[in-house]
């Protein structure tokens, strides 16, 4: 069943489009993963650009087969910022892909177990992720701050999904304060992002529904001389308000 009553009823065209998209995504992930691994000794920028090519291809097939488009609002908020920490809403796999081409080059916080996935997981390991074991919270937080600080000083942005997992469009989840703590420790600004991807690209769902995903980028939140709780609360407030307008 569609996740939203305004979406079209599931039919053969939607099912077939979702099947073709899934096949293209899986096959191309293996191909580009091998290419990225083959570029291991090349500069990081080469591997990153290869991953961006795959994202563009994948979003192109989502548009072709599933009728999924996307719009980005608020790019003016990031055009003059050299480095920042991004706290993004998380509803589906869409944003893990699209933000790779929407945002400047960045490192992303993810589960260490993902790096064990054959080919693509190995390729992700070469893209400077911040991989953590969520079962060891204290160690994970230390790794986030230490690696995040290093990547920020290197000139990479840091992307964090503070909910920790994908949430359904109508679900309210807790925002972990790890990203805000990184901001407190480093004084880099925080960029909040709201989106409604789960409506058309449901979490853990095979079926994709036609429509336009909206991505809304907020103004930078200062972290200078501020506590992590204050930074996190301001990001939550902005994202919550923005979600109500999507």
Task: Give the strand order in the sheet containing 130-132.
Answer: 68-73, 211-217, 190-195, 85-88, 157-160, 106-111, 130-132
pLDDT tens readout for residues 2-39: 445 566 688 999 999 999 999 999 999 999 999 999 99
Q: What is the three-class DSSP state of 69? A: strand
Gap between the Cα atoms of 116 and 119, Å rounded: 9
pLDDT tens readout for residues 85-102: 999 999 999 999 999 999
Nearest alpha carbon to residue 234 among 222, 216, 217: 222
Gap between the Cα atoms of 237 and 180, Å rounded: 13
CB 205 within 8 A of CB 159: no
Where do the domains of the chain lie, and which CATH numbers do they carry? 12-243 (3.40.1130.10)
- pTM of whole model > 0.85? yes
| Kind and range of the H or E run holding 230 | helix 228-243
Nearest alpha carbon to residue 3 among 208, 173, 223: 208
Q: How far apart are the first and last CA of the chain?
A: 21
Query: pLDDT at position 62, please?
Result: 98
Query: pLDDT at position 6, please?
Result: 61
């Amino acid at each position: 069943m569609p996740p939203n009553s305004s979406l079209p009823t599931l039919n053969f065209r939607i099912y077939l489009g979702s099947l073709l998209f899934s096949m293209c995504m899986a096959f191309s992930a293996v191909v580009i993963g091998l290419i990225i691994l083959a570029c291991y000794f090349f500069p990081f920028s080469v591997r990153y650009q290869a991953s961006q090519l795959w994202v563009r291809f994948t979003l192109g097939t989502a548009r072709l087969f599933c009728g999924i488009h996307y719009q980005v609002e608020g790019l003016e908020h990031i055009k003059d910022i050299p480095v920042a920490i991004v706290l993004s809403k998380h509803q589906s796999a869409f944003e893990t892909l699209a933000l790779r081409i929407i945002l400047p080059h960045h490192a992303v916080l993810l589960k260490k177990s993902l790096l064990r996935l054959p080919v693509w997981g190995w390729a992700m390991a070469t893209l400077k992720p911040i991989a953590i074991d969520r079962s060891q919270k204290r160690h994970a937080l230390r790794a986030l701050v230490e690696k995040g600080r290093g990547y920020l000083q290197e000139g990479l942005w840091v992307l964090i999904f503070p909910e920790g997992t994908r949430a359904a469009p109508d679900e309210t989840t807790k925002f972990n304060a790890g990203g805000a703590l990184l901001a407190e420790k480093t004084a880099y600004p925080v960029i909040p992002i709201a989106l409604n991807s789960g409506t058309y690209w449901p979490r853990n769902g095979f079926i994709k529904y036609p429509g336009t995903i909206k991505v809304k980028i907020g103004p930078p939140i200062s972290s200078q001389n501020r506590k992590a709780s204050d930074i996190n609360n301001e990001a939550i407030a902005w994202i919550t308000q923005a979600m109500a307008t999507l």
